[in-house]
Structure 1
Amino acid sequence: MGGSVVVGLDGTGSSVPAVRWGAEEAAARGLSLHLLHSWVSQPRNIPVAQEAASKRRYGAEVLDAAEATALELHPGISVTTEQVAEHAVDVLVDRSGQAALLVLGSRGHGAIAGFLLGSISLQVLGHAQCPVVTVREGEAAAYGKPEIVVGTQEAGTHGEAVLEFAFAAAEAHHASVRAVRAWEPPVMDVVPTAPIPSPEDDEAAAGEERKLADVLAPWRAKFPAVHVIEHVQRGRVAPVLLGACSQAGLLVVGRRMERIPMLLGPVIFAVLHHSSCPVAVVPRI
C-alpha cells in the first residue's frame, strides 16, 4: 500500500480517536501520517472568534495537539501537518488520489454528524478515490477487537479492492478476517409468517458457501498467515453484517463508483449509522 494515512481533523473530540486510529495504521503498515485541518471549515460550535487569524491559530493548536498524540503513541512514525484554506471536502477528495487511506472522526450513533459537519463526511465518503475509515467518538483503541469483518456480496474484479484492503489490514494487525455473505431465498407469491426451512433452502445455503469459498481461495493463498472465518447467513445484507461485528475491530464494505443519484447505498448508510466499530468504505474500482 503506497501513499500516506491522511487524518482529517475538525478540532472537536471526534478528532482524537481518529488520530489514534490513523497513527496505529501508519505504524502497522510502515506509512507516514499526514494530519490535515481546514480552518475555513471549522465547526460552528468551536468557541473561537470568527476572524480568519483566530481560526488559523486555533487550527495550529489542533494540529500541534494531534501530532503530539500520534508521536506519544508511536514515536517512530513520520508525521506531517497541514492547514489549508480550502473547503474540507475539496481538499480531502483531492488528497484521496494519492493517499493510502483517509481517516475521519464520527460523533456517535444516530444521524451521521461525523467529520466537521455531517454533509462533509458523506461527500468525502461518496467521492474519495481511496478507502475512507470513519472512527466513532469514544473509540478506546485502534483494532481493540481481534476480527476484521468484510462484506463479500459481489464476486469477480469488483470485490477485489474490498478484499485486498481487509486482508492487508488483517495481516498488518495480526487479526482474523470474518468474510460475510448474506443471502435471501427467491421471493414467493405467498410469503409465510415465519421462515420455514426446506431442502431447497439447505441447497441454496450450500451453494452460497461454495461461492464464498471460491471468492476467498485466492486471498487465502496470497495471505496465508491470515486466519479466515467463512460466515454465510440467511438475511438482508446490512443486519447480517452488523450482527457479525461483535468481535470486530473494523468493518469493511465496498462502494460502487459513480453511483447515481445516491453516492452511498443503503447498506453503507446502515452500517455507518449503527456499527459499533470503525467502518472502512472502499471504492470498487
Structure 2
Amino acid sequence: MLGTREFVPVALSARRCVMDGAVVVGLDGTGSSVPAVRWGAAEAAARELPLHLLHSWVSQPPNVPVAQEAAHKKRYGSEVLGKAEAMALELHPGISVTTEQVSAQAVDALVDHSRNASLMILGSRGHGAISGFLLGSVSLNVLGHAECPVVTVREDVTAAYERPELVVGVLERGTRDEVVLGFAFAAADAHHARVRAVRAWEPPATMGFATTAPASSGPEPAAGEEKSLADALMPWRAKFPGVDVVEQVERGRVAPVLLRACSQAGLLVVGRRMHRSPMLLGPIVLAILHHAGCPVAVVPRS
C-alpha cells in the first residue's frame, strides 16, 4: 500500500553535489522528464537558484530499452542527465546546473535531497481515459514524504506557467496556510503571474432536520468566509505589492471548487499535512493530483 511505505534514510553517493536551496528535478529517463526539466530550468532562472538534476540508475522504469547490467544502466543514466543538462542550458543559458546519478532508490534519494532543496519538480505521464493524472509510486511517495514543495508536471506541458494565473487553495483558518500562501506569492512574483486565492465553504449540517430556507439564503456565512480569506491574504499583499490578487469564495466541496478554479491556470498550489497516517496524502490532495488540468504544487505544512 503506497500510503504506508516507510522511508528509510540511506547513504547516498559520495559525489553528492546538490547545493542548499537548489531546484531539484527528478529524472527517470521517460518522456515525462522533458517537461520537468523545462519547468525546473524556468524556476531556477526566475528565482535565481541553481538547478540540480538527479537520476537513480537502480530505479529506471521497466520500459527503458537498456540491458539489465549495472554498467548499461549507469551509461543510460549518464545520457539522460547529459541531455537534460543541455536542454536546461539551452533554454536558460545563465543558470547554474549540476547533475548527479545515485545508486539509492529514487524515493529515498529524492526525499533526502528535499531536506535542502527550495523546490522539487517531478514529471507525470499526463492524462489517460481511465487513470487521469497518472502518478507512479515514486511520485506519490515523494509527495507524501518531501520536506520542500513538490511540483508535478504532465507530459503535455510545453512551458512553465503557460497561463499567467496561479491558483492557491486557502483551506484553513489561522496560520496553517501561511507556508502555502508564502510559496504561492513568491512563485507569482518570480513569474509575473496573478494569484487567485480560492476558499471553498459548505454550510453547517442541519442535523437531519428539514429546512425551508433556500440554499442561497443567509449571506452571513459567506461574508465570514470572505473576511477570513481577506485577513489571510493581507500580510502577503503587503509583502508582495506588485502581485495582482483575485479573491474567490465559492460554496461547495473543496476539491471540485479548486479543480474548477484552476481550469485556466498555469499552476495550482495546495498544502498537505505532514506526518499523516496511515495515508500520506489526504483525499483532497489526491483528487486534485489526479484530475487537475494544470501542474500542481504540493506544499508541506504543519
Using the size of structure 1 for normalisation, the TM-score is 0.95
Give the 3-state SS of the residue equivalent to 1:238 in structure 2: helix
- State the 1:10 CA deviation: 0.3
- Note if 1:132 corresponds to 2:150: yes
- Note if 1:96 corresponds to 2:111: no
Aligned 1:1-285 pairs, distance under 5 A: 3-109=21-127, 110=131, 113-114=134-135, 118-188=136-206, 189-190=208-209, 196-198=215-217, 200=218, 202-285=219-302
Give the 3-state SS of the residue equivalent to 1:155 in structure 2: coil
Letter in structure 2 aligned against 1:230: E
CA distance in 2, matches of 1:59, 1:190: 63
Give the 3-state SS of the residue equivalent to 1:178 in structure 2: strand
Measured against aligned partners, the alpha-carbon deviations of 1:229-262 in whole angstroms (never above 9, x if no partner) come to 0010000000000100122111000010101111
Q: Which runs of 5+ in 2 are unaligned?
A: 1-19
Q: Give the number of equivalent residue pairs.
A: 279
CA distance in 1, matches of 2:110, 2:157: 22
Measured against aligned partners, the alpha-carbon deviations of 1:60-84 in whole angstroms (never above 9, x if no partner) come to 0000110011011000000000000
Give the 3-state SS of the residue equivalent to 2:116 in structure 1: coil
- State the 1:112 CA deviation: 5.3
The alignment-based identity, stated in percent, is 73
Letter in structure 2 aligned against 1:173: H
- State the 1:191 CA deviation: 6.4
CA distance in 1, matches of 2:156, 2:54: 21
CA distance in 2, matches of 1:123, 1:13: 20
Using the size of structure 2 for normalisation, the TM-score is 0.90
CA distance in 1, matches of 2:139, 2:73: 21
Give the 3 Å change call, closer, same or farther, for CA 254–142 of structure 1 in structure 2: same
CA contact under 8 A between 2:134 and 2:290: conserved in structure 1? no
CA distance in 2, matches of 1:207, 1:86: 50
Measured against aligned partners, the alpha-carbon deviations of 1:2-26 in whole angstroms (never above 9, x if no partner) come to 6000000000000000000000000
Letter in structure 2 aligned against 1:256: R
CA distance in 2, matches of 1:98, 1:219: 24
CA distance in 2, matches of 1:230, 1:162: 15
Letter in structure 1 aligned against 2:166: I
CA distance in 1, matches of 2:133, 2:139: 8
Q: Which runs of 5+ in 1 are unaligned?
A: none
Letter in structure 1 aligned against 2:64: I
Measured against aligned partners, the alpha-carbon deviations of 1:63-106 in whole angstroms (never above 9, x if no partner) come to 01100110110000000000000000111000000000110000
Structure 1 residue ranges (4+ consecutive) displaced by more than 6 angstroms after TM superposition: none
RMSD: 1.6
Give the 3-state SS of the residue equivalent to 2:94 in structure 1: coil
Give the 3 Å change call, closer, same or farther, for CA 35–195 of structure 1 in structure 2: farther
- State the 1:158 CA deviation: 1.4
CA distance in 1, matches of 2:210, 2:71: 64
Letter in structure 1 aligned against 2:251: R
CA distance in 1, matches of 2:159, 2:90: 14
